[in-house]
Amino acid sequence: MGRKIAVIGAGADAVATVAQLISARDMQDSNWQDDEITWIRDCSHKVDNFGVQVNSLWLTVISTNTTISTLDFHKRFDATQKLGLKFIGFGNRTDKNFFVMFDPTEVSMHIDEGKFVEFYWDNVKNQHYKLNQVDKRVESLTFEDKKAYIDGEEFDFVVDCVRGGLFDKDAYKDSLFNPTDTKLTVNRKIPGDWDYTAYIATEHGYLTGIPTQDAQTWIYSYDSDMTTEEEAVEDFNAHCAVKKHCSYKKLESDHKTSEYCIHENRLYARCGRALGLNDDLTGFNNYIETDIGEALGEFIFGDNDRPCNNLQRLEVEDRWRDAQIDQGSLMSFYMQFGTKYRQSDFWISTRDKACRLLEDKYLHSTERREVYEKLETIPDEENIRLDYFRHQAEADDKFFLRQRMTDESDEPYRMIGPYQSFCQAVYGLGAPYASQFPLMSPLWEPSEKGGEIVLDSLMDGHFKKRPKKK
């Protein structure tokens, strides 16, 4: 008999983790194909039918481990295409909002999370073997004699995907960059007919707009230490008419992330929501959670002779540390120039924190520390905020510059994406160094002025119902 592995969670993050562990276990040369995976989910706690962002890595996990197709996403889960991001009211510019479009080879979507999870739960046994499904609320998680115990039942390893964690609840630390700790969410039953994720700057935080075929999910993120719930609702209502159309759901979190991915006992790991990532500005948490799920699969099943060894654990922890730096740097990148609400306490504080993280030469690559030392030679009035690529451009080494714009780069802004996405971002934000990067063709820019909210579809609403011809 093989080992018993448990995954606890009820969201799309838990689904991806289950799929990745099954895939890693069932590799052709694996010695662990007799291991039994148990997915524990409290079905009485229904996943809200809210829209969520899912990126190409998450979609790859689902498509390569199931027979769920693109048509399933659009017909069963109300999916819409996510062609990129639209920032409204961000940066130095006052003339235009801006788009950051994805690589043409990348596929991302907005989906109804509740519909997806319910479908997967009801049909997963049609796809996989040696998978148990248990519907219950976990009351206790303990460890003893190199075994884990979930409500008294013995397991060899547990992956926790529950927000806040079910074990070692004090093992969370201040995030590198996380300017908000509270979210107000509404789901308006109005079709979302735009094909990007919208980010709208507000006085006390920011709005995230996620379109699905039959609804619009709006998430208002703010810092409860600086803004009361009443102030947040008023600000939310000014942009989304919350009071007029529907009630909101409040989710309180904090400014913390998990101190580790895999506990030192090597019997317990955190993934998905349990990692504590709180990013509705870029959606990058979806990428990180999926990437960590892959790393856990390698940790549990990757070594046929010494599974779950300490060297592998440390490698995963390095991966988790780098992921936190990537996320903090990416969010800071988009917030470093503030927004149209320059005098608000939230944005004064957030901009300051963003700049300090980007300028932290000890946080980023030690091999390139000389790059950061150049900061001292740049006049303060230029407001450069330590952009690595700008420094390379000074050396007129354009080829090398483009080589650094890859996922293999160890620089703080590598996760901004390919060269084209970086250029769209720096021009859109009004970065003073944008002119250093020539364009092959003019950028596609929204027609409205900076800060004006217009959610026109980029691709003429491919997934909208066509009106009948008379």
Q: Are residues 24 and 162 in the same domain?
A: yes
The domain in which residue 24 lies consists of 4-80+107-176+257-305
Start-to-end CA distance of the chain, whole Å, equals 66
* pLDDT recorded at residue 412: 47
* pLDDT recorded at residue 389: 43
Burial of 41 (0-12, 13-18, 19+ CB in 10 A): buried
* Rounded CA separation 106/69 (Å): 16
In a domain, 143, yes or no: yes
Residue type for 63, please?
Answer: S
In a domain, 204, yes or no: no
* pLDDT recorded at residue 282: 87
Q: How many residues does the chain have?
A: 470
Q: Are residues 299 and 340 in the same domain?
A: no
Q: Are residues 294 and 371 in the same domain?
A: no
Q: Are residues 51 and 127 in the same domain?
A: yes
* pLDDT recorded at residue 154: 97
Q: In what order do the strands lie in the sheet with 153-155?
A: 141-144, 147-150, 153-155
In a domain, 192, yes or no: no
CATH number of the domain at 64, please. Answer: 3.50.50.60
* pLDDT recorded at residue 183: 94
* pLDDT recorded at residue 322: 86
Q: Are residues 66 and 143 in the same domain?
A: yes
* pLDDT recorded at residue 131: 94
- For 209: left if phi > 0, alpha if psi spans -120 to 50, otherwise beta; the answer is beta
* Rounded CA separation 109/128 (Å): 25
Residue 211's DSSP bridge partners are 216
* pLDDT recorded at residue 174: 94
Q: How many CB atoms lie within 10 A of CB 363?
A: 17
In a domain, 166, yes or no: yes
In a domain, 263, yes or no: yes
Q: Are residues 61 and 124 in the same domain?
A: yes
Q: Are residues 72 and 155 in the same domain?
A: yes
* pLDDT recorded at residue 358: 80
Q: Are residues 283 and 412 in the same domain?
A: no
Q: Are residues 299 and 380 in the same domain?
A: no
| Residues 321-363: tens digit of each pLDDT | 988 988 998 899 899 999 999 999 999 999 999 888 887 767 7
| Residues 229-264: tens digit of each pLDDT | 999 999 998 888 665 656 889 999 889 999 999 999
Residues 6+ apart with CB under 8 A from 376: none
Q: How many domains does the chain have?
A: 2
Q: Are residues 50 and 117 in the same domain?
A: yes
Orientation of helix 113-123 relative to helix 12-25, angle to 10° = 40
In a domain, 457, yes or no: no
* Rounded CA separation 461/365 (Å): 43
* pLDDT recorded at residue 413: 53
In a domain, 160, yes or no: yes
pTM for this one? Answer: 0.88
Q: Are residues 375 and 417 in the same domain?
A: yes
Q: Are residues 383 and 277 in the same domain?
A: no
Q: What is the pLDDT along the chain (470 residues), one digit of tens a residue?
A: 799 999 999 999 999 999 999 999 998 788 999 999 999 999 988 777 799 999 999 999 999 999 999 999 999 999 999 999 999 999 999 999 999 998 888 889 999 999 999 999 999 998 888 899 999 999 999 999 999 999 999 999 999 999 999 999 999 999 999 999 999 999 988 899 899 999 999 999 999 999 999 999 999 999 999 999 999 999 998 888 665 656 889 999 889 999 999 999 999 999 999 999 988 888 889 999 999 999 999 999 998 889 999 999 999 999 999 889 889 988 998 999 999 999 999 999 999 998 888 877 677 654 444 544 544 554 444 443 334 444 444 444 444 444 444 445 545 455 566 778 888 998 999 987 777 677 888 888 998 999 999 999 987 655 444 444 44
In a domain, 124, yes or no: yes
* pLDDT recorded at residue 229: 94
